[in-house]
Structure 1
């Protein structure tokens, strides 16, 4: 374990004016709090916070971040509290420690919905102070370096989380070295056999051809000396995971993989970067399509560099990166360069991105959708490389790899995106689903009155475009939903002998916590709320007898014991008049199924749970929900007419959900309240007779088991 004086020396190397007493105090406090705690490896637990702090010194970070690293697990794993940290080390450090603690408690690899919610919390924590995620990334890096002490299943879970979340996040923040190491450490856990195979093949290649890095380095140094250019040169083989990913993406065997070596040149000025590029291209043949100038067109995280791939010595392809010292600092630290120190002063690096502006640009792209939409946008933003396209005036538009002209249009302005009807790429008309490539010129064609199409959601590749399209579709649907909601409300109110009035709707909206009657009708029409909920808010005693989810009175079914109640199975929704059978559940009574329900197969070896039942003969109230799948033409008034027709058959609509929307037809599942099987047959016959109804059938969802 690094002792406190060695740690202070690491900080003093880049910040001679560091507050050494503060670091000593935090070191002693952390050691005291973690006293007696051990890691799974058998080492004292405090070795971990110290190692995290040491990783952050490599990023030349400020004292507050180093101290936070030393204390980042105290609130989570010891008796220390937020107040204790604030009293001893100040509010700034206490807030940072609290932020890291909250990130530690987020289960980012949990279920999709929970993961989406926690991703939003993660970005909220980042927006308060980006140093929180810097500490968390260093924490994850050290844990991955020492992961072999964990149980195999825990290793796999942490490795997947690292590969899917933390490594891409480090890359998106510009910390490419950390991304590469995190990916390779996770790869070592998730696919150790493949990694070992790549290393063996690489060793064999070196035995056959010799170590080409010193040879190519000597060639490049000769060029630099001849041109009298002062530059630092570094060469290395790419990491196993990077090699494996290229093999997978290009479907190539290792023997056919070419650019597995990389070289980096650090020059003294921008002009020298381009002089070196000229020398490299004069000496070796450039590989077409593998040149990128991120100096003239920087990435949004501040990254600047020239990338080129050339066919070097012995026909080996090598990647060369050329940048200045200031550019290199940002390339190594990314957004973290904003806090970097040099000679005791906060580094004034013109290329370092202000974290506040970086995060606000992300927030703008993510929109204000629900958690799942937010997660979708985050992943689109984090996992995509960038392409640079041009407007007809020569302005540059930055887009993720795989973006389309629609993404380009929305990147310019929402109004341009909404009105897009076509596009020209390099002067040629192309379909809107065309994937744009680096350096292309794009012209968007717009038309008055054009509105976004729902199919665009399957085409676009940016969160900004997706959010704008969804917003426009919601606004366009709103008037239609209000009209449909009015019809649903009218039918529902008539069913209980009441008349719809503005006052009644306002009262129901207030009871349901909605802004007004328009909002109520819109949600009713979009199936966000059911008509039974509206009735329940106004007439609970009347709604009770029409609500499809209540347990029916025992007298409706024959064959039950005196103390047994029943409920209908959601999968088959049996109706009076159909043959039924009951299955007993402890604490739930009896659940009745149609005799032909496929769900009964799983109870074949449990005959003691089966109950022979029959529906009571006679007239039943229209209180039994059945689901219908209906396909109707997409014309004005058809949906409202269908709802009216259902009402005319004395059947109440309790819920309505669209399952497929096409330009010419809609498919929807409608839940209606019926008396019995005969009532269902009458309703189906009436719907089938309608010319605008293409298909209608009873819908049984076997996924909805008891």
Structure 2
């Protein structure tokens, strides 16, 4: 029987005769289009699209997906335009084929950028029609099955990409069977010897375990019969890659992993699942803390099942999953099972399909906010490896988040504005740090304040891609507004040297300068000045070019208030504090760095108005500033406590302390304290001098 006839016979079990004929027509069209083309293995090229369609047929996909699978390489490999496919097979099929074609490799500077760009295209295609990704996954699966014909390096590259991106996507879409095959084929291509060793060990272990497995299986079947509960008991095998990952991550031996016996009980309806659970808990003792109800609270990818672990005969641990037939289908085929259970009048996404759409929508939102494709894929990869925790909002709604998520992740999951204005949180009605990892079952309440802004330190502990992307986006916006503000101040100071100001410059001159620098809006120019990419005095001269080309005077200095935010930082080499004579060094892309006038690190720039700006401290300067002190004193018991007590008595904080002995009697302490200004520092030093045995206190400068 020709291959297409065999496929058509399978399709006729769930598609109408007209739909099967449309799939057939797509096959003959592809056969003609690929005529004369061969795969690397030497087979006719059309065997590949046929195999891809066959994989989708196993998942009972609709006829349009199967037609797209037949035609998925036609646009790319044969030069047939999309319009021709629209005429032949309709708009939907042509769009699917075009979507899959656009996911092929392009040339980029690095493989990382290529992978990231491709993934961005995949997100866009998924948003239009999620079937695009299903055809692409089936295409990748057949390529993985026929990987042997490729060179070693190419084989490893494709396997690595499959393990890093395609297997997690299959998992995120709930497609367990496909994920397992991706992982095992990828593992075999990446580590052929390790894969073969584990495969041989599994075969041996299976032979040794046969008797125990049979006994447990019979006891479970007998238990269901006694309770008059209909259900099918299936043994469950761990796949090679999951054994390998567990051995590596949990540092367990092969024997320890294979000691667990796993079974699945498939029943007809949800009510029976819970009755079966009660029956097996009566048969063997359950292991406390190992019961999970994914029926009431499904996983993020739509997976539903009851999980429990029992103490079997001779203390053998038995893992049991209990689910309905529909849940079994959903667990194995995930989003693809949507088409299997979709009746002709049902177009509303539900279950796994709705969750997949929600995830794709989140991915698109991340893409809009991400700075570049690498930043985007970093966020999505975090999202692709979730191990969920389930927490409650104060109103009792359930939110699912990846393991390790914090209150900030929760806040952004609720709404972007809640995340951006979050200032504190209550976990189970008690105030808790924003960085505390959430645990399943907790109730989380966010305290927000209008005008509050994200803290850059949040990036150190947030887990979800959404939170990370939105924090970065908000910080970029904040940095921009602060850069514009600083740029305006610097430009006004430069113009003051010409005895004029920004208000007095004509709009024509501003437009002329913007055109000269190829900028659309004045704010962009101010941002460039604030970030140190352009010099204020050069821009001032350009704005006043018609009034002669004199250089602005350097009299007067820019006042620093200490609240400038992200575009103004204080040099660590000399740690300036209010009261110190200061200079500003403009560093491209970083904005202004404040140094002490005597700092050696800016000696070469000091006379260069391109790089240095005279600064002074404003009267209303606020904030805390770090200063490093070097203290020499006699070694004595409780030394750290004495120093801490003295600093505390002067209303200052110790940020860092380190100590080394010069000899048995003298200790040298490096102390970083935060103070308000020089007067406050003098008070701290006076308190420290009162400690007995102090011989020297020096402020450390560059």
Instruction: Give TM-score scaled by structure 1 length.
Output: 0.74
1:133 aligns with 2:133: yes
Q: Distance in 1 between matches of 2:120 and 2:275?
A: 45
- Quick check: 1:258–1:316 contact (8 Å CA) kept in 2? no
- CA offsets, 1:525-568, max 9 Å, x none? 235767699689879999x999xxxxxxxxxxxxxxxxxxxxxx
- CA offsets, 1:372-403, max 9 Å, x none? 33222211211222210123443211111110
2:425 to 412, 423, 426: 423
The alignment covers a number of residue pairs equal to 597
Q: Distance in 1 between matches of 2:20 and 2:617?
A: 86
1:267 deviates by 1.6
1:255 aligns with 2:255: yes
1:365 deviates by 5.3
Q: Distance in 2 between matches of 1:118 and 1:48?
A: 22
Q: Distance in 1 between matches of 2:447 and 2:409?
A: 13
- Partner-residue secondary structure (3-state), 2:236: strand
| Distance change (3 Å), C-alpha of 1:446 and 1:80 | closer
1:256 deviates by 2.1
1:412 aligns with 2:414: yes
Q: Distance in 1 between matches of 2:211 and 2:542?
A: 79
Q: Distance in 1 between matches of 2:349 and 2:128?
A: 22
Partner of 1:588: none
- CA offsets, 1:638-666, max 9 Å, x none? 99x734xx6xxxxxx58342699xxxx99
Partner of 2:590: 657
Q: Distance in 1 between matches of 2:303 and 2:545?
A: 62
Q: Distance in 1 between matches of 2:525 and 2:212?
A: 71
1:287 deviates by 3.3
Q: Distance in 1 between matches of 2:277 and 2:221?
A: 13
- Quick check: 1:284–1:311 contact (8 Å CA) kept in 2? yes
Q: Distance in 2 between matches of 1:638 and 1:525?
A: 23
TM alignment of 1:376-415, pairs within 5 A: 376-415=378-417
| Distance change (3 Å), C-alpha of 1:522 and 1:79 | closer
Partner of 1:8: 8
TM alignment of 1:310-321, pairs within 5 A: 310-321=310-321
1:516 to 509, 518, 521: 521
Instruction: Give TM-score scaled by structure 2 length.
Output: 0.74
1:37 deviates by 2.0
Partner of 1:197: 197
1:694 deviates by 7.8
- Quick check: 2:530–2:592 contact (8 Å CA) kept in 1? no
Q: Distance in 2 between matches of 1:242 and 1:383?
A: 14
1:473 deviates by 3.0
- Quick check: 1:109–1:161 contact (8 Å CA) kept in 2? no
| Distance change (3 Å), C-alpha of 1:272 and 1:677 | closer
1:177 aligns with 2:182: no
Q: Which runs of 5+ in 2 are unaligned?
A: 552-569, 629-702
Partner of 1:572: none
- Quick check: 1:389–1:437 contact (8 Å CA) kept in 2? yes
Q: Distance in 2 between matches of 1:109 and 1:13?
A: 48
| Distance change (3 Å), C-alpha of 1:689 and 1:451 | closer
342-351 or 49-58, which moves further after superposition?
342-351
| Distance change (3 Å), C-alpha of 1:91 and 1:197 | same
- Quick check: 1:338–1:347 contact (8 Å CA) kept in 2? no
- Partner-residue secondary structure (3-state), 1:141: helix
292-301 or 172-181, which moves further after superposition?
292-301
Partner of 2:442: 440
Partner of 2:633: none
TM alignment of 1:554-573, pairs within 5 A: none
TM alignment of 1:212-611, pairs within 5 A: 212-257=212-257, 261-340=261-340, 351-354=351-354, 356-364=357-365, 368-371=369-372, 372-427=374-429, 429-446=431-448, 450-490=452-492, 500=502, 501=505, 503=507, 504-509=509-514, 512=517, 514=519, 516-527=521-532
513-522 or 74-83, which moves further after superposition?
513-522
Q: Which runs of 5+ in 1 are unaligned?
A: 547-627, 647-652, 696-706
- Quick check: 1:99–1:132 contact (8 Å CA) kept in 2? yes
Q: Distance in 2 between matches of 1:59 and 1:536?
A: 70
Q: Distance in 2 between matches of 1:409 and 1:342?
A: 35
1:121 deviates by 1.6
Q: Distance in 2 between matches of 1:285 and 1:407?
A: 38
- Quick check: 2:270–2:324 contact (8 Å CA) kept in 1? yes
Q: Distance in 2 between matches of 1:527 and 1:278?
A: 69
Q: Distance in 2 between matches of 1:421 and 1:677?
A: 41
Partner of 1:649: none
1:350 deviates by 5.2
Q: Distance in 1 between matches of 2:490 and 2:417?
A: 34
- Quick check: 1:175–1:332 contact (8 Å CA) kept in 2? yes
Q: Distance in 2 between matches of 1:233 and 1:11?
A: 29
RMSD after superposition: 4.3
1:62 aligns with 2:62: yes
Q: Distance in 1 between matches of 2:364 and 2:579?
A: 40
| Distance change (3 Å), C-alpha of 1:493 and 1:338 | farther
- CA offsets, 1:265-286, max 9 Å, x none? 2221111111112222222333
- CA offsets, 1:214-246, max 9 Å, x none? 333222211211111122332221101011111
1:642 aligns with 2:644: no
1:90 deviates by 2.0
